[in-house]
Structure 1
């Protein structure tokens, strides 16, 4: 008998049987399944299986949280015991996407593009946080930064800043690589397209407003058309739309151009046509659209900060459940690309901590040893920025911890928005997240952190002890 044979049989039974599974794969912690009919899933039975830490449905996939290491063994035993057959993540995505509405497919596309580049973005955010500590005034000394007092550290800070800011300076290249790969084209062409949009001979996007005011924006005259020769540093939408056009042109050419001359024709023509279309139409339109979207958020948080912080604090965790939170990463990147910072990401970081606090309270509320252990470990994970075990394994399962966490996040989101807390970059969405916050905003952010530690824990503990009679 294999190590997890009985548990696999129980999982299959809870999922509606082998015949209900269309495709199956796994990631680091979860089984990812495309089911024929999710209504056949017995969630209560699934949750009682000792190796299962939670389950949820998102983006057309039913996902069973098993845990790192164990999930690989469970998947291999499931494949060996059944006729399901191994599938890639792409196979499962394709099968599950057929069940999505247009909005879900759009959000899933954004997730597929941004998730692969997150390690680079998060790393850059952490390093920028270290640079902020070295260069921010009033952290260690009144009116002075650490490098002001110890100038021998200045070169180190500059080097760290260059390493950290590279991912943001060349963000279109990262997005171009991931987007073109997602759309089915050559990812190398996506990198080149992104680099074209931030070419140093173009007017830097961050200098565009000043140049426009001074009437010094460089102009190309193309067959009578006057085109502004500007770059798209820190912009998200131009490279997303341009990448889609690039893929369509490349794939169309590959079908029509003989193999013998594809190297000489496909890439040059695809990049040239995409470049013309981008600088003439896509760039100006999406540049205006992207700035309009960020201006709307900036207006809301400037004029009605309490409303903006409260609403985003309430909505962020439910957005994670649906997968729609990935759409806001584009807004965060657009906001940080301006150099002024993002007010959305600090709320995200506090929301993650709130979910961890609610899960931690369940360790003291529940009488079930499995739930106690899962609550403690998942709380630590959430505090470090990974909320899936806490949210799907504990909080959503018992419902009221999830609601208590949302209440705490909403209160904290309101408070830090009223105090104009900003993050210089996207970082780790938990307690280490303070490194990405501008140093002058640390005090209100730490107060917000206290709110999301105390309020969700207290509400979950009191409700669990006073109202809920049984905890399984």
Structure 2
């Protein structure tokens, strides 16, 4: 493959170098901030040999090239345009200028939660391993593997401790990422998050019982009674507190001489933010978070089938718009407040459905290029990354995307009625069963069968009937 010629063709298809504001690449894709995406000749771009698909998301136009080749094509591209190498941050900054307020808010949430996602997913996988060891009715009726083989109990307890750490100290992870995003010192964010789960505070899990019994511990500050409670598993309190800390730190750093910053900035920001958090931010956001959690639980309790059909069926659309990042925070809040989430299992099935639709196109098409893209993107979707399948295959032909949505809606309705939950966020595809609550694997596997068989069979038959691939 003549990579220089491929880069020239890509440049021509996207509207020339004048249309590029900023450009970088990741492991498999060119990531471009274009001045005008309407100038992209999509048909010409899709017919280029090196291009395996393209899509636009969060103000960025991304072109799927493939691992190992994308960096070479990128080097040719910047050589042709003379724009110089740029970072992901440069492209994000350029693309954010074209976003509306809602898109910017979603991007903020994505930028906060995506960096900590590996820790959360790893914790979810380890909790799944603990479920296998300690969950009853998986291998033995009414008993767990540990009950039958007590010598495994110590291993299960150690795995559970390692797995739970990310959730026990979740405010510390969020504080680090959020303060960094808002322009403050990430170290202060970690400290702030750990303050909210300090062992001297009453554990948030015990708050409900303490409230009923009327023995919530308090501080008395000059006549003000402030509840002495922690915020384990809570998302909203540390998010807002991190914003206050970062903005106050930036404000002070601009006004305090460098020689005095170590003595004044850190103590002042942490003290003021901590005081405001325990006095106002924490109680208010704790109330809002519980209201959100109780509201969702109530809706899905009363209208389980409808809720599963809507959320399961529309999750693919949320991915297309980027709004799925918002529900990452909701899932984490649900796990922190209730110990499980009923939303995440539907996410996992939605990803599998999109992968199955892509595999159907692989089976139906005679186009070798589409075969290659459909097979690799299908595998990617089965492992939790759906963008290549969505934008490279399913949305391109439209009906695979719609069939996958309908199938995931049916599966979502079924597993919601069956009360399937996940103990954590895991890998959002076939390995997702590891995060499913013990005792609910059976219904989840039925849901998995639905999103594997329905999209693959119907999409294949539809494609053959149309004869357009």
Q: Distance in 2 between matches of 1:348 and 1:370?
A: 29
Deviation of 1:381 (Å): 1.6
Question: 2: distance between equivalents of 1:119 and 1:291?
Answer: 26
SS state at 2:467 partner? coil
Q: Does 1:112 align with 2:111?
A: yes
Aligned match of 1:14: 13
Matches within 5 A, 1:69-218: 69-218=68-217
Deviation at 1:469, TM superposition (A): 2.6
Partner of 2:468: 470
SS of match in other structure, 1:11? helix
Structure 2 gaps of 5+ residues are none
Aligned to 1:288: 287
SS in 2 for 1:438: coil
* DSSP-derived class of the 1:143 partner: coil
Q: After TM superposition, where is structure 1 displaced by more than 3 Å over at least 4 residues in a row?
A: none
Deviation readout 1:302-329 (Å, 9 max, x if unpaired): 0001111111112111111111100000
Whether 2:258 is the aligned partner of 1:268: answer no
How far apart are residue 3 of structure 1 and its match?
Answer: 4.4
Aligned-CA RMSD value: 1.1
Match of 1:446 in 2: 445
Quote how far apart the aligned CAs of 1:71 are.
1.5
Per the alignment, residue 49 of structure 1 pairs with: 48
Q: In structure 1, list runs of 5 or more residues that go unmatched.
A: none
| TM-score normalised according to structure 1 size | 0.98
Cα separation, 1, equivalents of 2:309 and 2:181: 34
Give the Å deviation of 1:187.
Answer: 0.4
1:226-237 equivalences under 5 Å are 226-237=225-236
Alpha-carbon distance in structure 2 between the residues aligned to 1:239 and 1:28: 32
- Offset from partner CA, 1:180-214 (integer Å, 9 cap, x none): 11111100000000000110111111111011111
Q: TM-score, normalised by structure 2?
A: 0.98
1:26 Cα shift? 1.4
For residues 195 and 212 of structure 2, the distance between their equivalents in structure 1, rounded to whole angstroms, comes to 25
Q: How many residues align?
A: 469
- The CA distance in 2 between the partners of 1:302 and 1:290, in whole Å, is 18
Superimposed CA distance per residue, residues 341-381 of structure 1 (whole angstroms, 9 cap, x where no aligned partner) = 10000000000100110000001211201111221222122
Deviation for aligned residue 1:46: 1.0
- Separation in 2 of the partners of 1:62 and 1:374? 18
Task: Check conservation: 1:32, 1:64, Cα contact below 8 A.
Answer: yes
